[in-house]
Structure 1
Amino acid sequence: MTTSDLRADLLAADYTVDRLRGLWGPVADAALGRDNPVPARRELAGRAHPAAVMARLFLLGESLADADIDAAFPGTGSAGLRARGILDADGRALVEVRPYSAVDATGVVHWWVVSDHVEMVRRGPLAPDHVLGVGGASLTLAGLVPTSPARRVLDLGTGSGVQALHARRSAERVVATDLSERALALASLTVELSGVDQIELRRGDMFAPVAGERFDRIVSNPPFVITPRERGVDILEYRDGGRVGDGIVEELVRALPHHLEPGGTAHLLGNWEYRAGADGLDRVREWVEAAGLDAWVIERERQDAAEYAETWLRDGGVRTATDAFEPLAEAWLDDFAARTVTHVGFGYLTLRRPVDESTPRLRRFERVTTAAPGGASGLGDAIAAGFAAHDRVAALDDRAFARLHATVAADVTEERHFWPGAEHPTVMRLVQGTGLGRVIDLDTGLGAVVGACDGELPIGVIVDAVAELLDLDAAALAGDVLPRMRELAVVGMITLADHRE
C-alpha cells in the first residue's frame, strides 16, 4: 500500500469536515467538541457510507471488522493499513486521521492531519512521545502567521505538521523540524495525505537541524510548558522543552537573529514567568532587546501558579480526584517557589530582524484581552500591516505626518452611549471588527478628527478645522491628537495615504 492509495480512498469517500458534519449533525458535532463521542457514535451506527466508517475508525476509536474496512478503503484495504502501521490486529486505528479545513487570504484548504488519539479515545495517560493534533493553539498560531509570499520558511517543532501545511501556502519551500521521531513520522504522513510538496522534514533540537541557515519566516509553537525537572514528573515531548522555567522561549528569542534574513519575521506562541512581583512582559523585553529585534508581543492570558499547574496536569490526563494529583501539584508549586514565580503569562510574539539598525525600533509589549469575532484568523496580516504602518509614521515628524490623508478602516465602527434624554454622549469609542478587536475610547477632539477622516483632507487641515469648531487651541489639539492618530494607524484602525487622487 502506498500513501497515494490511502489519499485516493479519503478523496473518494469525501472524508471532509463538511461531510462528517452532515453525517452526524450539529448536536453530535457540538458534543464531540466537548469530548463526548456518544451522539456521533449513535448517528453513525450501521451507516455504510465510507466516510462514516472512516470516522468510526479514525476519530471514534472503534474496532471494526476487516470486511467493513476493506469496503470503505477499496484501494488500501485493512492489510494495507496494517502494513503502514495505521491499524492493529483488532481492527482499531493506531493513529487519528482527521479532516481539516481552513480559510485564509489565499483561499480554502482541505487537508488530513495525522496525530495520536485524543483523550476521548485513548482513555489513559499520554505517552511521552504523544503527538498532538489540531487544537486551539494550532489554530491561533496559523492565524498569527501572515499570508504574504516568502521564499523559505522554518516550522520549528512541527508536531503533526499542520503549521508546515499552512506555511507552504505562501512559501516556496518549508523546512519542518522536530525532536520527536514519532512526530516526524506522523507529520510525513500528514504532508503526503494532504498532497503538499516542497516540505522537508528534519530531526533535531531547536535550531540544530538548520545550523548556519537563514529563513524569511520562522513559525513555532515551541514546547514551552513550564514543568518541574524532578523525578516522578512525566515529561511529554510535545509540550516540555527540557529547560528550566521559561528558558526555552528565552533561548528561542535570543537565537532568532542568527536564523532570520534581514527583514525576516518570527511568529511564536509562548509563556513567561512573573518572578517576585516583577512584570513578566519585562522579562520578554529583556530577551528582545538583547537580541536586537523589533517586537510586537501580546499577552492574552495570565494564570497564577496554582492555576497554571492545574491546567497542565489536566492536559496530561491527571485529574484532581486521582491520587497522583496532589504530589504532582506540590512538585509544580515547589518548582515555582524556587524561582519566586507567582504568575505565568501566555501570548503571541511577532519578532523581526531589522534591515537597517539605524531605523526606529518597534517594540510593543501589551496586554489585550479583547477578541474580534473571527478569533486569531487574519491576525498575522494585521500585525504585518502594523509593522509597515509603524515604519512609515516613525520616520515622519508631526509636520510631515499632518500632511497625510487618513481613512477610517472598513471594519471600524463608532459606538456612542447616552444617558436617557441627554443631548451629548457620555461614552464614545471606536470598535475594531477584525484583528484583536480593539476598543479605543474617544474624547470630543479625537472623535471629531477621526469622524472627518474620509481621505479627502490632510490630517492637519482636519485638526485645524476641529479646533476652530470647538474653540480650542489648534497647536494644543494637534499635540494631543497626532500621537493618538499614529497609534490608530499602527493598530489598523485608520489607513494612511500621501494624497487622494
Structure 2
Amino acid sequence: MPRAATHPSTDAPRTEPALLDALRADLTGAGYTVPAVEDLLGPLASAALHREEPLPALRATARVMAGRDARLAALVRLFVLGAEVPREAVEQAFARSGVDGAVRLGLVEAAGSQGNDVVRAVVDLRPYEAADAAGTVDWWLASDLGELATGRALRTDHVLGVGGASTTLAQVTVRDRRDRVLDLGTGCGIQALHASRHSRAVTGTDISARALAFARFNAALAGVGPDRLELRAGSMLEPVAGERFDLVVSNPPFVITPRAAGVPEYDYRDGGRAGDAIVRELVTGVGAVLEPGGVAQLLGNWEVRSGEAWHERVGEWLDAAGLDGWVIQRELQDPAEYAETWIRDGGSTPDRDRAAWAAQYAAWLDDFASRDVAGIGFGIITLRRPLAGPPTLRRLEEQTGALHQPLGAHLAANLAAHDWLESTDDAALAAAHLTVAGDVTEERYFTPGSADPSVVLVRQGGGLGRAVQAGTALAGFVGACDGELAVGQLVGGIAALLGVAADDVAADVLPSLRGLVRDGLLLVTP
C-alpha cells in the first residue's frame, strides 16, 4: 500500500522572507562557499571530514575563531561540525539576521542571551556547489544534522542532505528546456532546484512533511518561489495522478529493507515495500504521468536472484512499462555487503551495540535468503515515452568504471542519436556525413617487431568512456571521418584501398558505424 504523508512537524526550518533576505546576506558576507570552507580547513582536515573524522576540522576552525575568518569559522563549527559556539561569535556571523533571527528560522537554539552563552545548530546548513548539464550551481542547503554532528543514530524521519546518489542523479539528468518537471521524493529539494533552472514549473512530492518543509526553506533561500516550485505531500505518483510532465526525476527510497521487528525504517531511504518493489512500481508506472517524448530518470536497487543475470529481472520491468528504456548498472553488492552498508548508514555499528547490530544483520540476511537473492544491483534508469508507436530503445548494460560527469548532455545526445538511427536506413546512412567527436582518440598496440598493429581501439574520452575495438576497415573509416565525404564515398574509397568489394566493406563497417553514432563517438554533420 502507498505510504501516507507524515504529520507536520515544527522541528524544521521556517520561511520568513525578510529574515531569509538577511540570512542570505549574512552567508554571502561571511564567504560561506564550498571553496572558502575547503581553504579554511585545509587539505588534511577536509580529507578527514570526508572520512567522517571531525577532529582536524575542529582544530582548524578553532585556530581562526578570533581572526579574519572568524565569521566563516563560526558557521562551519555550527552547521557542519555540530559544535557549540559562543553567542557573541554567532552574532558576528549573523550580523543582519542575528541569533534571534536564526532561532526564529529554526536553524539554531541558544542557551541564553549573554555573549558567552552557547549556541548550537539544530539543522545542517552548508554551501553546495555542483555542475550539471546546464552549467554550475551555487546554493546553500539545509537538512538534518548527521550522526557526525549529533553522535546519535539517525531519527527515522531524518531529512537527508546531498549525498553521492543525489549528486549522481543531478549530473546524469538531461537539461534541455522542459515545460513541467516532477521531482518524485524531493527530500531536501535538491533535484527540484536543479530542475527549476531549465523548466517553466516544477512539482516536488514527498511523504514526509519535514522533508517538504526543508525543501520549501531551501527553495526560498535559493530565490525559487512557489510560482515556480509547488510542493505536495503524498506517496509515489498519487499526488500527481492524471497530470503529465516532460521530465520526471527521482532519487526514490529504494533501499531494500527487511520488514522485521527491530529494523528501523527511514523516510528518506525506505519505501515501505518488500524487496525491490518500489523501483519496479516506478519503472512500470511512471509512463502514466509522462507526456509523449517525456523522459524519466531515476536511481534504483534491484535484486539479482540465484541463477539469473541482473538484466533479466530489470528487463521484465522495461517490457511491462511499455517505454523506451536504458539501464546502466553501476555496482553489484552481495547481500552481506549490502546489509552492512545500510545498517551503518542508519548510525548503527558493532562497536556501539553488538547485540543490536547482530540482530539487524541477521534480519537483512534472512530477508534476502527468503527470496534467494544472490546480489543487489545499483544503477541509473532512463525511460522515455515514445512520441508514437511502440518503444524502440531497450539497453541494459554494465558500466562500473568512472563516469565523466556531468553526463546529462551525453545521455540526451545518445537518445537523439538513437532516434536518428531508427529513421535512417542504410541508403540514408550512406548519404550522411560524419565527423569524429572531439574527445575520441585512437590507440594502436603492436606485437614487437610487427609493422602492423594487432589491436586498434577507438576510445571515448568523455561520456561513458567507451572503447571499441576496430578492424582495419573500421579504423580506416573513422580516421577519414572529417565531414567532407559521405559515408558511401568513404566506404568506396576504403574498398578500393583494400582491394575488396564495396558491399563487403559496407557489411563489415555499417553495423559498427551505427554503434559509434549511437554512443557519440561519431557525430552526424548537419
Range into which the TM-score falls when normalised by the shorter chain: over 0.9
Q: 8 Å contact 1:371–1:435 — kept in the other structure? A: no
Partner of 1:108: 136
Q: 8 Å contact 2:254–2:278 — kept in the other structure? A: yes
- Give the Cα–Cα distance (whole angstroms) in 2 for the partners of residues 394 and 354 of structure 1: 12
**Which runs of structure 2 are paired with 1:248-263 in the superposition (5 Å)?**
248-263=278-293
Partner of 1:280: 310
- Give the Cα–Cα distance (whole angstroms) in 1 for the partners of residues 435 and 234 of structure 2: 48
Partner of 2:48: 31
- Give the Cα–Cα distance (whole angstroms) in 1 for the partners of residues 409 and 133 of structure 2: 9
TM-score (structure 1 length as normaliser): 0.95
- Give the Cα–Cα distance (whole angstroms) in 1 for the partners of residues 224 and 72 of structure 2: 22
Q: Is 1:159 equivalent to 2:191 in the alignment?
A: no
Q: How many residues in Structure 1 have an aligned counterpart in Structure 2?
A: 494
Partner of 1:343: 375
Identity within the alignment, %: 51
Q: Is 1:407 equivalent to 2:435 in the alignment?
A: yes
Which sits farther off after the overlay, 468-477 or 155-164? 468-477
**Which runs of structure 2 are paired with 1:20-419 in the superposition (5 Å)?**
20-45=37-62, 46-48=64-66, 49-90=70-111, 91-197=119-225, 198-321=228-351, 322-357=354-389, 361-372=392-403, 374=404, 376-377=405-406, 379-419=407-447
Partner of 1:443: 471
Q: 8 Å contact 2:132–2:172 — kept in the other structure? A: no
- Give the Cα–Cα distance (whole angstroms) in 2 for the partners of residues 421 and 53 of structure 1: 66
Aligned AA (1:69): V
Aligned AA (1:272): W
1:193-252 CA deviation, whole Å, 9 max, x = no partner?
Answer: 122231111111111111211111000000000000111111011110001111001111
C-alpha deviation, 1:427, in angstroms: 2.3
Aligned AA (1:471): G
1:46-105 CA deviation, whole Å, 9 max, x = no partner?
Answer: 424312211111001111121111111022222222222221244110110010112334
RMSD across aligned positions (CA) = 1.6
Q: 8 Å contact 1:272–1:281 — kept in the other structure? A: no
- Give the Cα–Cα distance (whole angstroms) in 1 for the partners of residues 306 and 61 of structure 2: 54
C-alpha deviation, 1:320, in angstroms: 4.0
- Give the Cα–Cα distance (whole angstroms) in 1 for the partners of residues 355 and 445 of structure 2: 53
Give 1:8's match in structure 2, choosing from 25, 30, 36.
Answer: 25
- Give the Cα–Cα distance (whole angstroms) in 2 for the partners of residues 434 and 134 of structure 1: 25
Partner of 1:487: 515
C-alpha change, 1:163 and 1:463, in structure 2 (3 Å) is same
Give 1:19's match in structure 2, choosing from 32, 36, 39.
Answer: 36
C-alpha change, 1:122 and 1:473, in structure 2 (3 Å) is farther
Q: Which runs of 5+ in 2 are unaligned?
A: 1-15, 112-118
Q: 8 Å contact 1:152–1:171 — kept in the other structure? A: yes
Q: 8 Å contact 2:474–2:509 — kept in the other structure? A: yes
Q: 8 Å contact 2:275–2:303 — kept in the other structure? A: yes
C-alpha deviation, 1:3, in angstroms: 2.0
SS at match of 1:399: helix
C-alpha deviation, 1:413, in angstroms: 0.9
TM-score (structure 2 length as normaliser): 0.91
C-alpha deviation, 1:318, in angstroms: 2.3
Q: 8 Å contact 1:138–1:163 — kept in the other structure? A: yes
Q: Which runs of 5+ in 1 are unaligned?
A: none
C-alpha deviation, 1:155, in angstroms: 0.6
Q: 8 Å contact 2:155–2:266 — kept in the other structure? A: yes
Q: 8 Å contact 2:187–2:212 — kept in the other structure? A: yes
